Every structure is written in structure tokens, then in C-alpha cells.
Amino acid sequence: PRLANQIAAGEVVERPASVVKEVLENSLDAGATRVEIEIEAGGSKLIRIRDNGDGIEPEDLPLALARHATSKIVSLEDLEAVGSLGFRGEALASIGSVSRLTLTSNHRPDGSEGCAALCEGREMTVQLRPAPHPRGTTVEVRDLFFNTPARRKFLRTEKTEFNHIEEVVKRLALSRFEVDFSLRHNGKVIHQLRGATSTAERQRRVAAVCGPAFMEQAVQLETDRGELRLWGWTGLPTFSRSQTDLQYFFVNGRVIRDKLVAHAVKQAYRDVLYHGRHPAFVLYLELDPAQVDVNVHPGKHEVRFRDSRAVHQCVFGALHRALADVRP
């Protein structure tokens, strides 16, 4: 099992940011309304994520750390209907196989004691012990890749690894406005984002995540075509090199990079602004989950639309109209 886990870890756990992504997605799947992320040394020393979600029952802690024990996929039809972010039941097992992982949780709201499970690379033996913890879960990942030196060697500088982590947090913060996010690196607060419900609060969050310069010139858009709803903000292309990737497209709450969508966006920018370089946008497409295939690839960044023409037209049309307003 150890080898299988470490092979799987290669797919799921590429770098500290992949750990943060998987663990945060679990918190969101557990209905957390607040997540606190603490990072040390770009995540290679410590990644600690605490949430106030449903928590895990003590007897389920070892299961949560076992590969595939929790897979929510039983059939292909299931795969199409997956609403939650995690569905392969292998992330924690994979992370545990290449780090020193502690999973501490309490599923009871009454302030009773929680339970911690320790899992250290190697044989994946899990030890349980009582531990104080409010309702929710804390995942602590220390010394990532301590037992896979080849992987550890591939880590970039602390700053680069942290930037990747920050990007993951930004994407999730933009996909779950209602959730509080805080992010610290080496004890310093990097982001403190309060849950946002009103449009003004959402705009404030987008400004905090994407920079005030984006929000100042961005136009808000919203189209509803029955089957397809597209909303968000789009702005002038960014020319500062540091902002070249201010491009967020969410499909039913998942960030994606999709050729078809990229093409529709680029074409709209070209049509209205005469060039399509580095468009800046934060856009949300909502549609019937049965109309979109989530790729089974661990990256989960790709999707396939049943009616790709309709999606293309919707994105292109909405951006075209919105951009006419910001044309300089």
C-alpha cells in the first residue's frame, strides 16, 4: 500500500500548493464557513489548515486517511453529478504517505473533546489519541516530501512555493464568497477575507484578491439564458507583467482553464478592443451539472461541455456587450 500511495501522491501532491488545494477543498466540502491557513517556509515545513466544518467521527479518522475508502464515485453517472470538490478519496492518503500528517477533528458541537490521528509516511499506520478541538477539523502537514528526497529537491524557493499556495487560496476565496479565509506565512497575515454576501462585499473581496486597480475599471456583467447563467467582472487587459494571469473562470464553483472558454473570451476582447492579449476577468458560469463533464484527471481544471456552442456564444456575447462599456 505504501508504494501505491506514493505513486498516487505523485499525481495529487506535486508541491505544497497541491496539498493546500486538496485540504482546503475538503474543508469546503465539509461545509466550513471559516478556514485558517498557516504556512511555514513556503509550505515545506508546515501547512496547517483549520476549519469549522462538520468534523469527522473518531472511528472514521483512519478511514479518512485510507486510500479510496471514501471514494464517492460508484458509477460513471455519479461522476457526472459530483457536486463536491473531492471525489477520489485519495488525497489525504497520498499526502500522508509523503509527510508527517496529523488529522485532528471534532464532529460534535458541544465542546466535547476531539480526536487526533497521526500518520507518518512509511507504513501509514495510524495512531489515535484524544485531543482538544472545537467542532471542525485541523489538518497539519509537516515536512512535506521528507521521505521522497527527489521530490523535495524539485521544490522551488520558499517565495515561489508560497506564491503558488496564495494562488490556490485566491481561487477558492473567489469561488466561495460566503466563507472567511485567512492566510498566514511565517506568522505574517497575508490575507484576511471576511465572508461576503452583498454585491458590495463581493466586490470588496474581488478587489482584495485581484487588486484594487482591477476593480476600479472592471465592469460587472450578468446574463441569464435559462440554461446558462454567466456573471462576474471583466476589465481592460492587464499590461503589467505581474498581472498577466488575472483570469479566473469558474464553472459551477470550480476554477477551470478551458480552450473553448479562452477562445470565446479572446475573441470578444479582439472584437471590441482590437486585441486579445492578457484580458483580465473574474467570471462565473452556472449550468446544469449534467451539461458538463468534470475531467477525472487529478488536476480537475478541465471540463467538457455538452453544448459547447451555447457556452461559447454565451461567454462571447456577454463579454462583447460588457466590454463595449469599458472601451477606452
Binding site residues, ligand ADP, CB under 6 A: 22, 26-27, 30, 51, 53-56, 64, 70, 72, 86-93, 137
Site membership for Mg ion, residue 101 (CB under 5 A): no
Nearest Cα to 103, choosing from 77, 65, 135, 71?
65
Span near Mg ion by CB under 5 A; candidates 88-96, 253-261, 298-306, 310-318: 88-96
Amino acid at 215: M
Q: What is the C-alpha separation between 292 and 304, in angstroms, rounded?
A: 6
112/240 with CB nearer ligand ADP:
112
Collect all residues with Cβ–Cβ distance below 8 Å to 311 and sequence separation of at least 6. 228, 260, 261, 264, 285, 287, 305
Between 89 and 317, CB nearer to Mg ion: 89
The owner of cell 485540504 is 23
- Report the residue number, 97 or 247, with the smaller CB distance to Mg ion: 97
Tell me how far, at minimum, the Cβ of 90 lies from Mg ion, in Å. 8
Binds 233, which of Mg ion, ligand ADP, none (CB < 5 to 8 A, cut-off by type)?
none
Tell me the residue number closest to ligand ADP, measured at CB: 86
**Of 32 and 215, which CB lies nearer to ligand ADP in the complex structure?**
32
- Provide the 3-class DSSP secondary structure of residue 84: coil
Nearest distance from C-beta of residue 87 to ligand ADP, angstroms: 5
Q: Closest by alpha carbon to 291, among 317, 311, 314?
A: 311
**Quick one: 26 or 234, whose CB is closer to Mg ion?**
26
Q: Is 296 helix (H, G, I), strand (E, B) or coil?
A: coil
CA dist 33 and 181 (Å) reads 9
Residue 188 CB partners (closer than 8 Å, separation 6+): none
* Per CB under 5 A, 53 contacts Mg ion: no
Is 23 a binding residue for Mg ion by CB under 5 A? The answer is no
87's CB contacts (< 8 A; 6+ apart) are: 71, 72, 73, 79
Contact at 8 Å (CB) between 22 and 12? yes
| Pairing state between β 303-305 and 292-294 | antiparallel
Is 26 a binder of Mg ion (CB under 5 A)?
yes
Rank residues 56 and 265 by Cβ distance to ligand ADP and give the closer one. Answer: 56
Take residue 159 and report the three cell numbers written for it: 517565495
Window of 20-28, 182-190, 239-247, 270-278 that interacts with Mg ion by CB under 5 A: 20-28
In whole angstroms, how close is the CB of 225 to ligand ADP at the nearest point? 32
Residues in contact with Mg ion, counted by CB under 5 A, come to a total of 3
Considering CB distances under 5 to 8 angstroms, the limit depending on partner class, which of ligand ADP, Mg ion, none binds residue 54?
A: ligand ADP
35 or 230, CB closer to ligand ADP? Answer: 35
Name the site residues for Mg ion (rule: CB under 5 A): 26, 86, 91
